[in-house]
Chains A and B, each alone.
Chain A
């Protein structure tokens, strides 16, 4: 299986003497969705920031297709798209201009952009809002703009941070469906979330972070085996990992 993202011995944080992450290692392969789960403050967002190259590790590396951000910044960034936990939009741009600007920034051909954008807008019920400014968007719609921009690029790696909050049920359904589709087409997806029931159904593997370290990782079967309870749900495994209590 092709490794897309490779994180090795990553330590880092907001100040050198108080690292948030301690020696974190994991991979994301092509054709898989990896769930990144953990309590508030476990280090999920910090991990994501390191993978995005927004923070520099004090030790260890994060490689996309073998290259680090320091080696090839534009190439590294061009292979991933990011769906942030809190939508970040340009208040000055309409929905259509957001999509166009994203396509331009990622170097998509204009024809490719136009061919991809209509079906995506239709899927998320946003076709009639392309001239709207973010000021008129609800939280869910803002989240949809982020999702549209990410899927528009069709990168090899998706970094998704808590995508479900604020989305309507139809939006969640469309999002999951597209994620499955791009996974089948060879993308790798790293998704952080607290919605464990959804994660359990859609993620191929899990990384459970606790206090900046990887507490458990593997497929659901492997996790069950590791804690010695073949009937455990992801909820129970999670609580075990973050409390140290056996279900």
Chain B
């Protein structure tokens, strides 16, 4: 007799062991220090920005947007594995017990994120919505109730056979969540009771039908689980090598023009690195995000000596995050077999990294002038950024890559 509780527990323990190992690696890396500095400075300016907000600031809409996203996105961690498609498929009818653990686990974990955001957005909430502690607690309790409802209904939603129909049901949930949140932040508690009743009916009838009509969509569930696992791997991959990271490719056709290189043997790897940067995993996404976040910091911080330091901090972060691109195709036998000099491969990577960092530096310096920076700070930023990019690509990159190869 199969003990599903035991299987589930073992899977959870395995996952925790992996996650812990990666978190330790992330904690030990130098990048953590940059993050910490940014966090401290960020919270300082967050408090300041809050004070400066005008009284007609649409705080409730911001809160609705944040929580509507958090509530609607409720993927269940099933801890399913590829092999289950063969080995657990025959006992599908008894999998209920297994999945019950998954749903409970998901509820606990995602409640944490609700509480976390509630604390982070607390100052905003108490200034614009209410600072009555009972009302605040009531709001948190209602948010958690809505979270559990979303997890349960989204779980039934995953039984639907087509992406399109699943999306339609998700839109229904999104609408219900938005109305719920609107009433909640208006403190219309009587109406909240009404919508809670509607939610109850929906989950028991509307979403209940799905449960009766459709079985588990195993491949889809595996895909979700895989996606959630990849999230962890992708974060960890920024700090260390994650062999399990499977490559998701987005064609991003509009960027293809930027990845063209002249047809020459010497440029073989340049084209590959450019295309990999634009299309694979999230190198491009990380780059854009870092550029934008850096820009926001430049914008928030009062003009002065902070600016060149911030620019160097973000150039360094981008450089470090893009280093794994060099190893992206490791283990690919063609790299070894091409009759192309090994140095050309490193040169190609170096050249592309330098180009990306220079673009980033250029954008920052241009932005500084745009928001009215002085020639002094602008010039200093440009000079130090150029020096940094040169040092980083000429020395640091080589050292790092030789160390890990």
A positions within 8 Å CB-CB of B: 52-54, 73-78, 82, 84, 88, 90-93, 97, 100-101, 104-107, 110, 113, 133, 135
Contact = CB atoms under 8 A, between A and B. Distances in A.
A62 to B, nearest CB: 14
**Interface residues on chain B, size class:** 20 to 34
Interface of B: 247, 249, 251, 263-265, 267-268, 271-272, 275-276, 279-280, 329, 332-334, 336-341
8 contacts: A54-B333, A74-B340, A84-B333, A92-B280, A104-B268, A104-B271, A105-B268, A106-B339
B272 A77 contact: no
B263 A104 contact: yes
A107 B339 contact: yes
B329 A90 contact: yes
Given A91-B280, A92-B279, A105-B338, A133 B251 contact: yes
Tell me whether chain A's interface is mostly helix, strand or loop, or mixed.
helix
A97 B275 contact: yes
B268 A92 contact: no
A93 B271 CA distance: 10
A85 B276 CA distance: 25
A105 B339 contact: yes
Contacts of A74: 339-341
A52 B275 contact: no
A107 B265 contact: yes
A90 B268 CA distance: 13
Nearest to A113: B263
Contacts of A52: 337
A163 to B, nearest CB: 16
Contacts of B332: 88, 90
Given A88-B333, A93-B275, A105-B339, 8 more contacts: A82-B333, A84-B333, A90-B276, A91-B280, A93-B272, A104-B271, A105-B334, A107-B265
A88 B338 CA distance: 13
Enumerate the 5 nearest inter-chain pairs by beta-carbon distance, A residue then B residue, closest first.
Answer: A78-B339, A105-B338, A77-B339, A107-B265, A74-B339
A54 B336 contact: yes
Contacts of B271: 97, 100-101, 104
Which residue among A90, A92, A93, A113 has the maximum number of chain B CB atoms within 10 Å of its CB? A92
A183 B191 CA distance: 82
Contacts of B340: 74, 105
A52 B276 CA distance: 26
A4 B395 CA distance: 43
Given A75-B339, A93-B275, A105 B280 contact: no
A133 B334 CA distance: 18
A75 B280 CA distance: 32
A189 B268 CA distance: 26
Contacts of A113: 263
A223 to B, nearest CB: 32
A77 B338 contact: yes
